[in-house]
Chain A
Amino acid sequence: MTGWFDLIVVVTILSLLAALVLGQLRWLRVAQRVQYLPGEVTRIERLWLARRPLSLLWWALAITAALLGYLSVPWSVPIGAWLVVLAPLIASLSPWRMPLTGVTKPVAWTGRLIRVAVVSSVLLAAIAIASMWWLGPAGALAPVILNALVMDLSIWVLWPVERALQKPYLKNAQDKLHRVDPQIVAITGSYGKTTAKGYTAHILGAKYQTMASPASFNNLMGLSRSINDTLAPGTEVFVAEMGMNQEGRIRELSTWFPPYISAITVVGEAHYERLGSHQAIFRAKAEITENASVVVLPVDQPELVQLADTCRSRGTIVVTVSAQGHEADVSIDPESGTVRYGDSDPQDITVPILAHGINMAVALGIAWALDVPAEAALKQLNSLPVAAHRSEVSYSERGVAIIDDTYNSNPPGALRAVEGAKALAEERGGTFFVVTPGMVELGALQRKRNRELGRLSEPPEVSVLPWGLPTGKPSWRGPVSRPRCSSPAMTRSVRCSRRRGNPTLSSMRTICPTTTPKHPSHRSVPGGD
């Protein structure tokens, strides 16, 4: 071989390095975003390839360039051979237009991310050496195309290592739980669990020193961290939110932190895409009942009624609740606006029931199970807390009511949020804007649910300003309006949504501009979860 060939090898290696640096930055960020779940990085890649077919074209072009270059060498056509140098760079254009840095959340260089970076880089280097050994410079393309797969592989390889590293934190959290010895109340549900957790802690506060796991710290490390950092001595009840994105997760959580009382709010459609079926979601949620002494279940869903029977046959005490006035230990009747708490007579409640009904019912059910007297428990209903970014109402200096519902991630919640905001806009007599990308991660149901949301947002009552997700177009299916006014508050609100909203969830903000603010501070509205 001659000198020009060596030069091609050197330049190819340089272009490979550049392509891999870009690829690693991109896929490491994704790995962090999907919480290092094995298989998720390639799933996201497939999603992009499907949404942006141009990505496949770049790959095809890169393969063609590499192939031509590969064939040119034996024929000694230097010009053709140089094509090989371009192949890795062309391939790195795929997935087309996927941002390198986070749009909503910058990448955090945690120890775990660095470990994934090191392992995946080593694997990529091994693949590069092997394929270039075999195919020559054309082989440089292989690691670039396989980058996402290698990322998944690294996460999978590191899985046992990460578990071992987490052990001391888990152990600490367990020790601390033993020391402080609170009753553990665990809440899960497809949606509403953060709100229900807040309500539960608030109502139990009437009788017990209560602490709730902060924010949405609902996985193994999140819960351990909240126990290690915030569980104070003297806490009598610890209310933990348990989340899952796979079957087995909640079982694991309730093995580490065995609940005395566990509750399910709703079995719905969140994570439908990942889990595949309603049955799978139900099974995953039902795991929370396996280890508990007392189970609080709404009887408004047939599968939960069945679960209640299963629990009873296992010898678990079951407390039933209802937000639709059904026969239950705690029953809220939205028709008459009353609540029945245990054996007490139905009592009027003044807070809006519709939107928060099931969360209220579950929280009251837990309070009843823990012997909070009726009077004390129902009194607490008048001062329920509002979860951040969940139908949180604020007012701009120009009097625009801004309803932040960006953390709302479920179809019924979104419908209620729009209904509630519509009512507020009517009350204030202003125009009502919905700013949303539509809902995602709903799999086969996505189109249908977005269309339902769209139907509720028809003009002239509502103006909708959809904005695109990083993956491209909004998933919104419904009417679209051009902004009729360009108030700075609105522009800022849209910018804020982009910055703060979690694009894997449905991000929604509703704006009702009028001239004077009626309520100067935060207020909860009916709607949202």
Chain B
Amino acid sequence: MSKSGSWAVVFGGPSPEHEISILTGLQAERVLRDAGHSIEALYLAPTGQWFQVPQNSEAKDFLEGAPSGSKELVLQLGGDPGFVPKKGLGAKKLDIAAALLCFHGGGGEGGGAAFVFESLDIPHTGSSLYAGAVGMDKLAFAGLMQASGIPTLERVALSDSSEPSFPGPYIVKPRFGGSSIGIEVVDDIEAARAIGRSSPHLKNGAVLEPFRSGIVDLNISFRTYPELELTDLEKPLRAGEATDGVYSYQQKYLSGGSEGAGLTHAPREFPAQVPDTVSKAAADLATRVAEVTRLTGIVRVDLLWDSETDTVYVNEVNTIPGAMSLYLWAPKRAASEVLAGAVTEAIERRIRWPQPGFSQGVALRAAGGIAGKLVGMN
């Protein structure tokens, strides 16, 4: 593997959060380039086409697809994997030393992109296929929390045949998906089922949680390089019409006024004004989440604090958080240090899985003829 090469910042991808991913990617590209790193910006369009986009592209350049001046790439798997320009005589494979994955939602954040880059033999951030997948499956994640004894709110699959174990009102969330898109609050199970059938975000699976109006959102970020480190707690504020009591996609990403939309400028209280016990509990929970999920790089853990019972719950985890949570790191670490750290971690602590050579052909030699294996099957 070439140690030279540029770092790739990779963003876009088929997901409802496609546009937010573009913002995160362009932000990361600037941060790393300004810090003196050689950066390639790679964009995955919703159509599935890969592009090498011009340096320092702006968000609006993506309004009608890849910016003008982009070069389409072919993703080549097989014996000599890599990104190859589609056009141009004798086009050479891009020399990429490592990739910072900035996908949000969809297969990009859910471990799919991690597997693609593993197949490309390019070290990458964004954890492993398995860790990413658990982070993206809200039901599996809640199960993992419960199995590990980490406090979390009840969460069940929305089902046509069985009733939830707790009474309404409910929050209905897409089971797979990383953001607040598609979240609805309903009074009873019938309404939840109706919405589950009609909403394009819930059709592929939905989970139910009890809706608690007094509960407070708290966010914290951890990184795993050079060693496990946590940020302060953040309390996102529900600006504007918080009529349904859910921190919506609109509030999260599209508010921010003159400074521009995006998570970086969303209204928040930071550090959150909470009792020390809450801060301590949150830090402890985030550490346990890091251990039990085996997520790496930069991760955001979303917590819920019930001030009446003074309990902190783990709500969900963002394996590739919006804006890479750089706004949470700002008081402690420079943005370039955090991002470069994640890429360095990807290169130095590459996750390796046992390969076929491991069994040394023992099973193949012992197998004999395949016909013998079919005896008694028909």
Q: Smallest distance from the beta carbon of B187 to chain A beta carbons, Å?
A: 14
CB-CB under 8 A from B45, the residues of chain A are 232
Q: Does B46 contact A (CB under 8 A)?
A: yes
Quick one: given A214-B64, A373-B194, are A233 and B200 in contact (CB under 8 Å)?
Answer: no
Q: Which of A234, A236, A372 has a CB less than 8 Å from the CB of B198?
A: A372
Contact residues of A: prevailing secondary structure:
loop
A230 touches B47 (CB 8 A): yes
- The answer to whether A232 touches B199, judged by C-beta atoms less than 8 angstroms apart, is no
* Contacting residues of chain B (174-216) with chain A, CB-CB under 8 angstroms: 194, 198-200
Per-residue CB contact flags for chain A residues 210-225 toward chain B (1 = under 8 Å, else 0) read 0000100000000000
Q: Is the CB of A209 within 8 A of B200?
A: yes
Whether B65 pairs with A207 at a CB distance below 8 angstroms is no
Contact A373 B14 (CB under 8 A): no
Q: Using a Cβ cutoff of 8 Å, how many contacts connect chains A and B? A: 31
Cβ A373 vs Cβ B46 within 8 A: no
Whether A334 is near chain B, meaning CB under 8 Å from some CB there, is: no
- Docked CA distance A234–B47 (Å): 9
A165 within 8 A of B: no
Residue among B14, B45, B198, B199 with the highest chain A CB neighbour number at 10 A: B198
Q: Please, which residues of chain B bring their CB within 8 A of the CB of A230?
A: 46-47, 65
B194 touches A232 (CB 8 A): no
Asked if B198 contacts A233 (CB within 8 A), the reply is no
* Contacting residues of chain B (120-152) with chain A, CB-CB under 8 angstroms: none
Question: Does B78 make an interface contact (CB < 8 A)?
Answer: no
> With A205-B200, A230-B46, A230-B47 given, can you name 6 additional A-B contacts, CB distance below 8 Å?
A206-B198, A206-B200, A229-B47, A229-B65, A232-B14, A233-B48
Cβ–Cβ contact B198 & A376, under 8 A = yes
Measured between beta carbons, the chain A residues less than 8 angstroms from B200 are 205-209, 236
Which of B47, B64, B194, B199 interacts with A233 by CB under 8 Å? Answer: B47
Q: Flag whether A231 is at the interface (Cβ < 8 A).
A: yes
Using a Cβ–Cβ cut-off of 8 Å, how many residues does chain A contribute to the interface with B?
Answer: 16
User: How many angstroms from the CA of A376 to the CA of B194 in the assembled complex?
Assistant: 10
A187, B287: Cα distance in complex, Å: 55
A233 to B13, CA, bound (A): 11
CB distance from B200 to the nearest CB of A (A): 5
Residues of the A chain whose Cβ atoms lie less than 8 Å from the Cβ of B194? 373
For A236, list chain B residues within 8 Å (CB). 200
Cβ of B198 and Cβ of A373 under 8 Å apart? Answer: yes
Whether A233 and B65, one on each chain, are in contact in the complex, defined by CB atoms closer than 8 angstroms, is no
Report the bound CA distance from A480 to B261 in whole Å: 44
Quick check: B47 and A206 within 8 Å, CB to CB?
Answer: no
User: A371: nearest residue on chain B (CB-CB)?
Assistant: B198
Bound CA–CA A236/B198 (angstroms): 13
Q: Are A231 and B198 in contact (CB under 8 A)?
A: no
Nearest Cβ distance between residue B177 and chain A, in whole angstroms?
Answer: 13
Minimal beta-carbon separation of B51 from chain A (angstroms): 12
Chain B residues near A209 (CB, 8 Å)?
200
Taken residue by residue from 222 to 244, chain A's Cβ proximity to chain B (1 for < 8 Å, 0 otherwise) reads as 00000001111110100000000
Q: Would you call A206 and B199 a contact (CB within 8 A)?
A: yes
Interface string of B39-53 (1 = CB under 8 A from A): 000000111100000
Q: A230 CA to B46 CA in the complex, in Å?
A: 8
- Please tell me if the beta carbons of A231 and B47 are within 8 angstroms of each other in the complex: yes
Taking the nearest CB of chain B, how far is it from the CB of A232, in angstroms?
4
B23 to chain A, nearest CB (A): 19
Given the interface pairs A207-B200, A208-B200, the reply to whether A232 lies near B46 with Cβ below 8 Å is: yes
Nearest Cβ distance between residue A67 and chain B, in whole angstroms? 53
Knowing A229-B65, A232-B14, the reply to whether A207 touches B198 (Cβ < 8 A) is: yes
On chain A, the residues within 8 Å of B46 by CB distance are: 230, 232
Residues of B contacting A372 in the complex (Cβ-Cβ under 8 angstroms): 198
A232 near B47 with CB under 8 A, answer: yes
CA of A231 to CA of B65, assembled, Å: 11
Q: Give the Cβ gap from B197 to chain A, nearest Cβ, in Å.
A: 8
B16 to A, closest residue via Cβ: A209
CA gap between A482 and B194 in the complex, in Å: 60
CA distance A230 to B45 in the complex (A): 9
8 A-B pairs within 8 Å (CB atoms) are namely: A205-B200, A207-B199, A230-B46, A232-B14, A232-B46, A232-B48, A233-B14, A233-B48
Shortest CB-to-CB span from B1 to chain A, Å, is: 31
Residues of B within 8 A of A205 (CB): 200
Q: CA separation between A48 and B198, bound complex, in Å?
A: 56
CA gap between A207 and B200 in the complex, in Å: 5
- A451 to B160: give the CA distance in the assembly, Å: 62
B64's nearest neighbour on chain A, judged by CB, is A214
Return chain B residues, CB-CB under 8 Å to A207.
198-200
The interface bits of chain A over 372-392 (1 if a CB of B lies within 8 angstroms of the residue's CB, else 0) are 110010000000000000000
State the 8 A-B residue pairs at the shortest beta-carbon distance, nearest first.
Answer: A232-B46, A207-B198, A373-B198, A376-B198, A232-B47, A209-B200, A208-B200, A229-B65
Contacts of B47 in A (CB 8 A): 229-233
CB distance from B105 to the nearest CB of A (A): 13
Interface residues of B in 11-60 (CB under 8 A from A): 14, 45-48
User: Which A229-287 residues have C-beta < 8 A from chain B?
Assistant: 229-234, 236
User: Hey, which chain B residues are within 8 Å of A233, CB to CB?
Assistant: 14, 47-48
Q: What is the CB-to-nearest-CB distance from B10 to chain A, in angstroms, rounded to a whole number?
A: 18
Q: What is the CA–CA distance of A236 and B194 in the complex, to the nearest angstrom?
A: 20
Which one of B45, B46, B65 has the greatest number of beta carbons of chain A within 10 Å? B46
Residues of chain A with a CB closer than 8 A to B48's CB: 232-233
Q: How far is the CB of B360 from chain A (nearest CB, A)?
A: 41
Which residue, of B14, B199, B200, has the highest number of chain A Cβ atoms within 10 A? B200
A214-B64, A229-B47, A229-B65 known; A234 vs B14 contact (CB < 8 Å): yes
Contacts of B64 on A, CB cut-off 8 Å? 214
What's the least CB distance linking B74 to chain A, in Å?
16
Nearest-CB distance from B66 to chain A (Å)? 9
List, in ascending order, chain B residues with CB within 8 A of A214's CB.
Answer: 64
Q: Which residues of B contact A234 (CB under 8 A)?
A: 14
Shortest Cβ gap from B17 to chain A (Å): 14
CB distance from A38 to the nearest CB of B (A): 31
Minimum CB–CB distance from B37 to chain A (whole Å) comes to 31
Complex CA gap A281/B46 in Å reads 37
In the complex formed, the residue of A with least CB distance to B18 is A232
Give B49's nearest chain A residue, CB to CB: A229
**Closest residue to A206 on the B side, CB-wise?**
B198
How far is the CB of A194 from the nearest CB of chain B, in Å?
16
Within 8 A of B (CB), among A303-347: none
B254-277 interface code vs A (CB 8 A; 1 in, 0 out) = 000000000000000000000000
Tell me the minimal C-beta distance from B205 to chain A in angstroms: 15
State the CA gap A376–B198 with chains docked (Å): 8
CA–CA, A233 and B48, complex, Å = 8
A468 to B47, CA, bound (A): 44
A209 to B46, CA, bound (A): 12
Task: Name the B residues within 8 Å of A373 (CB-CB).
Answer: 194, 198
Q: How far is the CA of A106 from the CA of B159 in the complex (A)?
A: 59
